Amino acid sequence: MDLDRALRISAAGMQAQSTRLRVVAENLANRDSTAETAGGDPYRRKTVTFRNRMDRALGAPTLQVTRVGRAQGDFPVRHDPSHPAADARGYVRMPNVDSLVETMDMREAQRSYTANLSVLEVTRGMLTRTIEALRG
């Protein structure tokens, strides 16, 4: 039934967006996670990749998070010779997490999640109405 599929497509979209939100939370939580050893690499920002995959059980393509990758890019450095992760010259490499980027990503994920939720509610209303029609 198509309404049932619509429900599941929206649910898959919500799930993908919540995974994205979880990754954003992880990135923000690790904003200051430096390495524990001298000159080591700090936390590297995680990224999500979405793709439509054919759901065989459903017979329709649904959105899925295919990969949680790591963002390339240089680490900003901070001068702090007393830090355990500082290199020989006294610089500490900081994670490549930009809180502005993460905040924007979070907003977008939230917006998409809400949109999917609204569609799900409308579809559920339509489904309920159809079932009520059976009662006569």
Which residues here bind another protein, judged by CB under 8 A?
1-3, 5-7, 9-10, 12-13, 16-17, 50-52, 60-63, 108-109, 111-112, 115-116, 118-120, 122-123, 125-126, 129-130, 132-133, 136
Strands (E) in the chain, as ranges, are 46-55, 60-70, 77-79, 91-93
In the complex, least distance from residue 45 CB atom to another protein, rounded to whole angstroms: 18
SS3 content of the chain, % helix, strand, coil (to 5): 50, 20, 30
User: In a 3-state reduction of DSSP, which class is residue 55?
Assistant: strand
- The DSSP output letter for 74 is P
In the complex, least distance from residue 117 CB atom to another protein, rounded to whole angstroms: 10
- Record the tokens describing residue 36, joined without a space: 């524990």
In the complex, least distance from residue 37 CB atom to another protein, rounded to whole angstroms: 38
- Record the tokens describing residue 93, joined without a space: 């490499």
**Nearer of residues 30 and 112 to another protein, judged by Cβ:** 112
**Nearer of residues 2 and 36 to another protein, judged by Cβ:** 2
**Nearer of residues 36 and 132 to another protein, judged by Cβ:** 132
